[in-house]
Homo-oligomer: A and B are copies of this chain.
Amino acid sequence: MSTLKREEYIPHLAYDSVIFGFSGEKLKILLIEYHKTGWLALPGGFVKIHEPLDEAVKRGLRERTSLHDIYLEQFYTFGSLERNKPEIMRKIMASQEKVVPEDHWLFERFVSVGYYALIDYEKVEPRPDALSDSISWYDVDSVPDLLFDHNFIVQKALEHLRTHLDQKLLSVNLLPERFTMKELQQVYEAILGENLNRANFQRKMLSLGILERHEKLYSGGSHKAPYLYSFLK
C-alpha cells in the first residue's frame, strides 16, 4: 500500500467486490482478513487516473485474490457519509507499521462502486495478497462483522443476485451441461435461502423461455424418469 501515490489514483473513489461462491450446497462469499488486526472485509481497491472503472475492478480482484477471468457485474454505488471511518484506515496502516501523514488521502471520504460475481468455488483457488493474512469463503447465512459498511454492501449484492438469479445462472456454470428440474430447483433454493413449491417452480422456469428440454434421464427400472434440460445458448 506504500506504492499508492495520490496522483496515480482518482481521489475519493473506491470499489468493492462481492464474490459469491456456490458449489451444489451453500452460497458463500469471499472475505479477506487483514494482517494482525484480524479484521474482515471485502476485497476492494482504487481506480487509476487513466483506467476504465471496469478494468480497475478486474485488476484489483486479480491482485488481491489472484482470481482472474471472473465476470464481475456492477450493482450499486455507495455514497453515504456514514460509510467513512478514517480511524479504521489509520489502524490498518498502523498495524502494518506504515508511517503515513495525518492527512493521507486514504483517510478522506470515499464513494465506493460495488461489483459482484457468482462463481463455482470448487473451480478457483483464491490467494491472499501482501495486505491480507488470509482469504476464505464464509457462509452467506452467517457473515461475520465486516469493516466499514461492508455488511450492508453484501446485503445489497445479495438482493441483487436474488432478484436477477434467472439471468445470472444463464452465464455461470453451476450445473452440469444437462440437468433435471430438481437439480435446478436445488440451486435456486440454496441461493434464495428458501424452499420453493415444486409445481410453481417448474411452471415459472418453463415460462421464462431460457430452458431447452431434452430426452428423459433413464436410470433403470423407474417409470418416473425426469426430463433433462439445458440452458438455451
Q: Report which A residues bind B (CB closer than 8 A).
A: 10-13, 47, 49-54, 56, 74, 76-81, 109, 111, 113
- Choice from B11, B54, B78, B81 contacting A79 with Cβ under 8 Å: B54
- CB-CB under 8 A from A56, the residues of chain B are 79
| A52 adjacent to B81 (CB under 8 Å) | yes
Shortest distance between the CB of A108 and any CB in chain B (Å):
9
Q: Name the 6 nearest CB pairs between A and B, nearest first.
A: A53-B79, A77-B77, A10-B12, A77-B113, A52-B80, A52-B81
Q: Which residues of B contact A53 (CB under 8 A)?
A: 77-80, 111
> Complex Cα distance A109/B10, Å?
9
Q: Which residues of B contact A12 (CB under 8 A)?
A: 10-13
> Which residues of chain B come closer than 8 Å to A50, judged between CB atoms?
81, 109
Cα-based distance from A231 to B175 in the complex (angstroms): 38
Q: Is the CB of A49 within 8 A of B10?
A: no
**CA separation between A210 and B54, bound complex, in Å?**
36
Question: CA–CA, A13 to B10, complex, Å?
Answer: 9
19 example contacts (A-B, Cβ-Cβ < 8 A) are as follows A10-B11, A11-B12, A12-B13, A47-B79, A47-B111, A49-B109, A50-B81, A51-B81, A52-B79, A52-B80, A53-B78, A53-B79, A53-B80, A53-B111, A54-B80, A74-B77, A77-B113, A79-B113, A111-B113
Judging by beta carbons under 8 Å apart, are B76 and A10 in contact? no
**What is the chain B residue whose CB lies nearest that of A12?**
B10
CA distance A206 to B39 in the complex (A): 47
Interchain CA distance A185-B194 in the complex, whole Å: 32
